[in-house]
Amino acid sequence: MNVLVTGATGFIGSALVSILSSKEGFEPVAVVRRQQSGLPAVIQTVQVGDLNADTNWELALKNIQVVVHAAARVHVMKDTKTDPLGEYRKTNVAGTLNLARQAIDNGVKRFIFVSSVKVNGEATEEGNPYTAADEPQPEDPYGISKLEAEQGLFELARGSSMEIVIIRPPLVYGPGVKANFLKMIRWLYKGVPLPLGAIKNKRSLVALDNLVDLIVTCIDHPAAANQVFLAGDGEDLSTTELLERLSMALGRPARLIPIPGYVLEIGAALLGKGDIAQRICRSLQVDISKTHDLLNWQPPVTVDEALRKTAESFINTKEK
């Protein structure tokens, strides 16, 4: 089966291409923006340039049965654009729907869209996780753009034979992780004292290996057609628990100062960092029971195994 993977040099896409290339019956075709892709020479690649409403996918879609669309304008914490939503829409909505229309015209059977839990919202009450059936409540431009893309995909699919699969992951971590998760690893590795020793929230995460395994499952599982799935590790952690277990994986003591979450939120708000404190202190849980029941899927990697792989990758990279 020929599978087109967009975002093939990104965190998720590169891991997916690697797994597909090792599995019998799958032939991944990696989409790259520029010629210097960094992918192994044995992987078939197609250069398409920027992702927008005018991207020409004709060569990339030739003989493709399934598209996994992982490319996106990713979430930016401090967006300096004058119209952030407009910028997200160019790539995440117009770019996605342009690809989907051309996929339909080329006879693609299934389109898997890697969306985001931000479509559901930003926070949950502990013990009341998001489900795939919940009314979407995105709060920021990134989440809004992902929801609009989902809605547009289902609308396009109604007039065609192409099946749509939506996967909404929460925060994804694993070897090569970037952004705030990487900052957290660096702080713990250096032994920096952190005022995060008394956070009693619950947050769902998904290991890169688990997310890729779910995507591969959705490529040809009959029950995945035209469904929305939430992804997760099946174990929710408080911020404090995450830091403690990540420290253990790094072989470093966790120097966590027990300051209550509400104190952190008040202090961060006064410093103009309230959005960061909310992500650290508040809960965001997802219910993956639909994913399990419909697909008979279980996360193959435990949280501790995934944290160990993440830590080992960081240490090995640091030592080179």
3-class secondary-structure state, position 172: strand
The answer to whether residue 130 is catalytic is no
- Dihedral angle, C-alpha 48, 20, 290, 101, nearest 10 °: 20
Catalytic residue selected from 142, 173, 189, 262: 142
Q: What are phi and psi of 90, to 5 degrees?
A: -55, -45
Write the DSSP string, 73-96.
Answer: ----TT---SSHHHHHIIIIIIIH
Cα–Cα distance for residue pair 9/5, rounded to 1 Å: 10
How many CB atoms sit inside 10 A of residue 12's CB? 22
Query: What percentage of the chain's residues is helix, strand, coil (to nearest 5)?
Result: 45, 15, 40
The answer for residues whose C-beta is within 8 angstroms of residue 93's C-beta and 6 or more apart is 145, 148, 149, 152
Cα–Cα distance for residue pair 218/10, rounded to 1 Å: 20
Assess contact for 104 and 51: CB atoms under 8 A.
no
Length of the chain, please? Answer: 320
- Dihedral angle, C-alpha 33, 37, 42, 46, nearest 10 °: 10
3-class secondary-structure state, position 100: helix
Instruction: Show which residues are catalytic.
Output: 142
